[in-house]
């Protein structure tokens, strides 16, 4: 085998076919040695927001993988103008929004986008937004069918980019975001009826912040609980 290899080297050297030699022998080895590179900023973003994505999967039926992939894509992992200036992680435009807004040039000059007090408010509003009338066809899909949801978002008009579904799917599969869908599907909902004995404890700090988030989103949206008009 070694002698055969040497003959090939002599052949390419005599004919000065160095480009061909590199293409045949060196390029494949470079390809084999190349590993998939994951963006550290994306990994940090996923770690930071995976719990809220899983919770919204259980509460609203929106796949956690879709929430995370949209957040990564729309906000560039929290680094976009809308995310940094308006805590808007999903590129949701005003659409009957009664709260503050941010202007940004997209399809039109000075498009109106929702502005939130926090990223948590943005995630909450995104989940409620996808429960609106326009996106009801998505809820007929299995909540772990991220491919169907990705295509359905485009079909329902969430984005105009024809490659939007492919971009979401690529992010989900590259970062294995669908593993959080299982966690979301397995989370048990909180009991509806309070336990009479012992008396319920005072809300924790996390619960108070979550309730405040709900109130801010409902107040800014002007529709109270999730409504069919939220489209």
Contacts of 165 (CB under 8 A, 6+ apart): 147, 150, 151, 153, 154
**Bridge-partner residues for 102, per DSSP?**
113
Bigger pLDDT: 5 vs 114: 114
Please list, in sequence order, all residues whose beta carbon lies within 8 angstroms of the beta carbon of residue 55, skipping any fewer than 6 positions away: 184, 187
CA 151 to chain centre: 14
Q: What is the pLDDT of residue 86?
A: 95
Residue that has been written with the tokens 């879709």 in this structure: 66
Enumerate residues 6+ apart whose C-beta is below 8 A from 160.
107
Sign of the CA dihedral with 38 first, then 39, 44, and 49 last: negative
Q: What domains can you pick out in the chain, each with its CATH number? A: 40-188+202-221 (1.10.530.10)
- Residue 32 banded pLDDT, cuts 50, 70, 90: very low
pLDDT-derived band of residue 20, with 50, 70 and 90 as boundaries? very low
- DSSP notation for 201-229: PPPPHHHHHHHHHHHHHHHHHTS-S--TT
- Which pTM was predicted? 0.67
Predicted confidence at residue 14, as pLDDT, reads: 57
Which residue, chain included where needed, has tokens 């084999």? 32
Phi, psi of 178, rounded to the nearest 5 degrees: -65, -15
Looking at the DSSP bridge assignments, the partners of residue 113 are: 93, 102
pLDDT in tens, 151-194: 999 999 999 999 999 999 999 999 999 999 975 444 443 433 34
For the segment 188-228, what is each residue's pLDDT rounded down to a tens digit? 434 333 434 445 566 677 777 777 777 777 677 665 554 44
Strand partners, 101: 114
Per-residue pLDDT, 190:
42
Q: Could you tell me the maximum CA-CA distance found in the chain, to the nearest angstrom?
A: 91
Q: Determine the distance from the C-alpha atom of residue 131 to the mean position of all C-alpha atoms in its chain, rounded to a whole number.
A: 16
Predicted confidence at residue 224, as pLDDT, reads 55
Provide the pLDDT for residue 97.
83
Q: What is the pLDDT of residues 105-152, one digit of tens each?
A: 765 567 899 999 999 999 999 999 999 999 999 999 998 999 999 999
- Residue 145 CA to its chain's centroid (Å): 14
CA distance 167 to 70: 9
């Amino acid at each position: 085998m070694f002698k055969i290899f040497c003959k090939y080297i002599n052949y390419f050297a005599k004919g000065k076919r160095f480009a061909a030699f590199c293409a045949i022998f060196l390029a494949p080895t470079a390809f084999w040695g190349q590993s998939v590179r994951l963006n550290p900023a994306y990994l940090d973003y996923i770690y930071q927001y995976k719990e809220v994505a899983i919770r919204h999967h259980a509460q609203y039926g929106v796949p956690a993988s879709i929430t995370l992939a949209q957040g990564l894509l729309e906000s560039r992992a929290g680094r976009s103008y809308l995310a940094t200036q308006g805590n808007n992680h999903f590129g949701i435009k005003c659409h009957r929004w009664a709260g503050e807004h941010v202007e940004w040039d997209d399809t039109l000059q000075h498009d109106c986008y929702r502005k939130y007090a926090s990223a948590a408010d943005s995630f909450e509003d995104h989940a409620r937004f996808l429960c609106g009338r326009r996106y009801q066809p998505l809820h007929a899909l299995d909540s772990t069918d991220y491919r169907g949801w990705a295509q359905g978002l485009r079909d329902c008009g969430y984005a105009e980019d024809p490659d939007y579904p492919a971009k979401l799917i690529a992010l989900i599969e590259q970062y294995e975001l669908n593993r959080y869908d299982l966690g979301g599907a397995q989370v048990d909902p909180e009991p509806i009826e309070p336990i009479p004995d012992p008396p319920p404890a005072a809300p924790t700090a996390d619960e108070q912040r979550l309730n405040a988030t709900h109130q801010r989103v409902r107040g800014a949206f002007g529709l109270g609980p999730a409504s069919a008009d939220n489209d």
